Chains A and B, each alone.
Chain A
Amino acid sequence: MNAEKHPPVSLGTYLMVWLALLALTALTIAVASMHFGAWSVLAAIVIATIKGTLVLLYFMHLRYEDRMFRIMLLLTLFTLAVIMLLTFVDVLLR
């Protein structure tokens, strides 16, 4: 069973991840106030993605789980991406 396969994650790791998340939040607010035009949207999304990934990998233990969990998650995100892409084929070109 996987719960026993890995030793408990050290509490220090959790603290570091938390600090990183707060730092990234500060960063995204700073970037937003600098008015990069279209780039700031991209920056906001990229930073949010990094933050989400950190939560998924460390707080939600995906890093320590069986590879299958990551594959399943990627499958889900891929499905969502395909849906968005195909919808935009209509919306953008109408």
Chain B
Amino acid sequence: MSTPTHEYHPDSTGSKIGMWLFLFTELLLFGGMFLLYAVYRVKNPADFHYASLNLDTKTGAINTAILLTSSLTMVLSIGMLERRHRKASLWFLIITIGFGVWFLVNKYLEWSHKIHHGIYPGSEELTGRTAGENLFYSLYFLMTGLHGIHVVAGMVVLGVMVWMIGKPHHRVLPVTTLPVDAQAHAVSVTVEYSEDAKLDQQKLIRLENAGLYWHLVDVIWIFLFPLFYLIS
């Protein structure tokens, strides 16, 4: 880059502000769809009620529990890294991704069940039903679909975090502070060098930000679940 002399200041508050601002955009993105949902629900209460009866509350509830638990493992991963238990942090992260996979598998089964019964946007089966049911299922596919894409994105981010935390610090340190050979690498994990502390700090900030994203995806599901599966 053209600015090689820039000093490196890890500004955790700065990165967090940036991350939160991004999360706000996500909130408003879904907010726009919630607005549409609210309007159509108010206009077609009976149809929405009837349509939501056909969604499987059990699947929805299981998926809610999965995401809530994945949020727990996410904060535990961060907590472990804070306490410098790198291995444990890594495992909690992998478990979190596993929950993400589980969630998506359930979602896939649920969707294919609906599609199998001829319920998908613009299907003959659906256009034959009432306007409200049409709208309900269109919103259902749009909102849970977009949410699913966010889950996938979150899993990709967490995957990057696994890679980042998993690899040992093999950034080439200045020769004056540390000779770069295998022996030195072995100790660099356990012995605290100032350079390492900085890297740890940076990794922690990144993991926290990745966690914020994952939790937000959870928060959005917390609202999607009752609105689609529970209203009666």
* A adjacent to B, CB under 8 Å: yes
Partner of B31, one of A17, A29, A44, A80: A80
Kindly identify, within residues 9 to 39 of chain A, every residue whose CB is under 8 Å from any CB belonging to chain B.
9, 11, 14-15, 17-18, 21-22, 25, 28-29, 32-33, 35
Write out the residue numbers on chain A whose beta carbons fall within 8 Å of the beta carbon of B10: 1
**B208 to A: closest C-beta gap in Å:** 7
B42 contacts the other chain (Cβ, under 8 Å)?
yes
B230 contacts the other chain (Cβ, under 8 Å)?
yes
**B16 to A: closest C-beta gap in Å:** 7
Partner of A3, one of B57, B208, B216: B208
Contact B74 A59 (CB under 8 A): yes
Contact A14 B68 (CB under 8 A): no
Q: How far is the CA of A4 from the CA of B42 in the complex (A)?
A: 47
Q: Label chain B's interface by main secondary structure.
A: helix
Chain B interface: which size bin? 35 or more
A41 nearest CB neighbor, chain B only: B231
Q: Label chain A's interface by main secondary structure.
A: helix
Q: How far is the CA of A18 from the CA of B73 in the complex (A)?
A: 10
Contact A22 B65 (CB under 8 A): yes
Contact B222 A51 (CB under 8 A): yes
Q: How far is the CA of A21 from the CA of B28 in the complex (A)?
A: 24
**B188 to A: closest C-beta gap in Å:** 22
Kindly identify, within residues 1 to 23 of chain B, every residue whose CB is under 8 Å from any CB belonging to chain A.
10-13, 16-17, 20-21
User: When A9-B79, A14-B79, A66-B13 are in contact, do A48 and B28 touch as well, CB less than 8 Å?
Assistant: no
Not counting A18-B71, A69-B20, A72-B21, a sample of 15 additional A-B residue pairs whose C-beta atoms are within 8 angstroms of each other reads: A1-B13, A2-B13, A3-B204, A4-B12, A14-B75, A14-B79, A33-B232, A40-B231, A44-B231, A55-B218, A56-B215, A59-B71, A66-B13, A88-B38, A91-B42
